[in-house]
Amino acid sequence: MKIAISGKGGVGKTTIMALLAGELQKQGQKVLVIDADPSPHMAETLGIKDTEQIKPIAEMGALLAERAGKTAGSPFYNLNPEVNDLLRDFMLEQDGIRLMILGAVQTAEGGCACPENHVLRKMLKKMLLTADEVVLLDMEAGVEHLGRGTVAGADCLLIVTIPSRSGIRTALKIKKMADDVKIPRVCFIGNLVRDQDDKNFLEQELGERPLVFFPDSQAVRRAERTEQPIITLQEGIEEVPKQLIKQLLAKD
């Protein structure tokens, strides 16, 4: 299954993806996390070190263009069927979780991130997974990746929102765009939820009940401040990652 996550800035996308990665790995799934945020910090959240060893996906395009006999600067990438073999150079594995990063090619003049997103989109579409493999795609905030169709190859999009009007507004916009690009399954997730009022507000404003609600957790806050990888968290988020996986697998 290929699962992408989206939502307004700072609503907890990376945190939730890391918790999901940890729980899936515990349950025996082979997890590949792709950090597609141009300001990546999934590695720290997962506690993965030596990330300078990973070749960013952005370089994959140049490599593939080279192989296809085109110039490295060409905006066109001819992905060939051997793409899966190539992936190995672009990932780092630690404690059973593999990580890939998109890599930022942004210039002061506002250079476009389109080429690497194009590679990512194609890669997602071409990646064939076995039943015990899960790809988790952590996206940058906002709607741009949907505009570019980067996540069109995902089987499922999780839209995270906190119980605030602005969070919900962005979530609904993302939902509409996800439906337009025909992502097969799109679900909301509530984060920083304190009480029943928060749950009711989310359900009412979203027009449907979020799949799960993550609590506002002191343990998560503490882990972030002390630079403890979120994935090693033993308490404070209750059974929510487990519930989420159950829900995702149930309707799949």
Residues at the contact surface with ligand ATP, assessed by CB under 6 A:
7, 9-15, 37, 141, 191-192, 214, 216-217, 220-221, 224
Based on the shown chain and the rule CB under 5 A, indicate whether residue 14 belongs to the binding site for Mg ion: yes
Of 13-21, 66-74, 79-87, 201-209, which part binds Mg ion (CB under 5 A)?
A: 13-21
Based on the shown chain and the rule CB under 5 A, indicate whether residue 8 belongs to the binding site for Mg ion: no
CB of 228 to ligand ATP, least distance (A): 10
* Cα separations in angstroms, 231 against 33, 147, 235: 13, 31, 11
User: CA dihedral in degrees (121, 97, 45, 201; nearest 10)?
Assistant: 70
CB of 225 to Mg ion, least distance (A): 17
- The two structure tokens encoding residue 98: 């593999």
- The two structure tokens encoding residue 3: 């699962």
Of 9-17, 79-87, 203-211, 243-251, which part binds Mg ion (CB under 5 A)?
A: 9-17
Q: Which does 127 bind (CB under 5 to 8 A by kind): Mg ion, ligand ATP, none?
A: none
CB of 140 to Mg ion, least distance (A): 7
Which residue sits closest to Mg ion, CB atoms considered? 14
Q: Which does 12 bind (CB under 5 to 8 A by kind): Mg ion, ligand ATP, none?
A: ligand ATP
CA distance 63 to 112: 19
Q: Which residues contact 61 (CB under 8 A, 6 or more apart)?
A: 77, 115, 116, 118, 119
**Radius of gyration of the chain from its Cα atoms, rounded to whole angstroms:** 18
CA distance 138 to 4: 6
Based on the shown chain and the rule CB under 5 A, indicate whether residue 145 belongs to the binding site for Mg ion: no
Residue 191: Cβ within 10 Å count: 25
Site for Mg ion (CB under 5 A): which residue of 5, 6, 12, 13? 13
Is 116 or 140 the residue whose CB approaches Mg ion more closely? 140
Chain residues that interact with Mg ion, rule: CB under 5 A: 13-14
